[in-house]
């Protein structure tokens, strides 16, 4: 990637890769290494800010890191990442499906998501217990605001309850206020969060506000 980019930021936690990465950094003046946890990295320090992200993501932080880069790095226009197959299915899930949830809404509000290919567990050594997939995200709009993100998390916090009940339990709004807002948007009072398409959540936040 280094010959193709004006600046390549490499974020790595595994110190076993220090020697080979430092050799590469010595060969490419535009390659800069940031050692440490990507979830703790100050993204504002990346100057110039990145326009693309390519990664074999650690599965334990894949979802929160993708959400963080979508919301905190508006300069990124595209992501090509390998993640656990279940995470890939969740992020591109459609309303009404079992896997559709808060991460699906948050990512899809800002990006188009498509699976490029699946990756069988047999190609890894050691062999993991899960399959993987390569995802492509392409930004198509602004990430959800903080208020919308709060509403989305609250909406899916109690999946067995109606949307109005879940938002009331989370302290976002009263049950009656949510039902009134849903009616104005053309939804039944007893609708559940998983029935709403991603673009409905900013509209609901605006109605409640």
Please state, in angstroms and rounded to a whole number, the distance separating the CA atoms of residues 103 and 90: 7
| 8 Å CB contact between 107 and 113 | yes
Superfamily of domain 146-208: rRNA adenine dimethylase, C-terminal domain (1.10.8.100)
Please state, in angstroms and rounded to a whole number, the distance separating the CA atoms of residues 205 and 202: 5
The answer to whether residue 117 scores a pLDDT higher than 90 is yes
Domain ranges of the chain: 1-36, 51-139, 146-208
| H or E stretch at 209 | none
Please state, in angstroms and rounded to a whole number, the distance separating the CA atoms of residues 199 and 56: 29
Q: Give mean pLDDT, residues 121-129.
A: 91
pLDDT recorded at residue 187:
97
| H or E stretch at 2 | none
The answer to whether residue 181 scores a pLDDT higher than 90 is yes
Helix (H), strand (E), coil (C) string for 185-206:
CCCCCCCCHHHCCCCHHHHHHH
Q: Give mean pLDDT, residues 64-72.
A: 96
| H or E stretch at 39 | none
pLDDT in tens, 10-29: 999 999 999 999 999 999 99
| H or E stretch at 135 | strand 132-139
The fold for domain 51-139 equals: Rossmann fold (3.40.50)
- Complete DSSP assignment for 74-109: TT--EEEEEEEHHHHHHHTPPTTSTT-SHHHHHHHH
Q: Give mean pLDDT, residues 121-146.
A: 93
Q: Give mean pLDDT, residues 87-110.
A: 97
Select the more confidently predicted residue: 77 or 160.
Answer: 77
| H or E stretch at 73 | none
Backbone conformation region of residue 136, classed left if phi is above 0, alpha if psi is from -120 to 50, else beta = beta
């Amino acid at each position: 990637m280094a010959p193709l980019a004006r600046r390549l930021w490499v974020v790595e936690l595994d110190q076993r890769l220090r020697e080979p990465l430092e050799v590469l950094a010595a060969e490419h003046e535009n390659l800069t290494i940031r050692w440490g946890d990507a979830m703790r990295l100050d993204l504002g320090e990346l100057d110039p800010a990145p326009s693309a992200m390519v990664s074999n993501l650690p599965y334990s932080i894949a979802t929160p890191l993708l959400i963080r880069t979508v919301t905190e790095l508006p300069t990124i226009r595209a992501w090509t990442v390998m993640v656990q197959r279940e995470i890939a299915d969740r992020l591109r899930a459609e309303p009404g499906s079992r896997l559709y949830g808060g991460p699906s809404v948050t990512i899809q509000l800002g990006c188009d998501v498509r699976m490029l290919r699946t990756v069988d567990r047999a190609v890894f050594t050691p062999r993991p217990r899960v399959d993987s997939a390569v995802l492509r995200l392409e930004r198509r709009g602004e990430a959800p605001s903080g208020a919308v993100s709060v509403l989305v998390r609250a909406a899916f916090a109690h999946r067995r309850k109606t949307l109005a009940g879940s938002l009331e339990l989370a302290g976002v709004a009263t049950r009656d206020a949510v039902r009134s807002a849903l009616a104005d948007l053309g939804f039944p009072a007893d609708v559940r969060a998983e029935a709403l398409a991603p673009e409905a959540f900013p509209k609901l936040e605006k109605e409640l506000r």
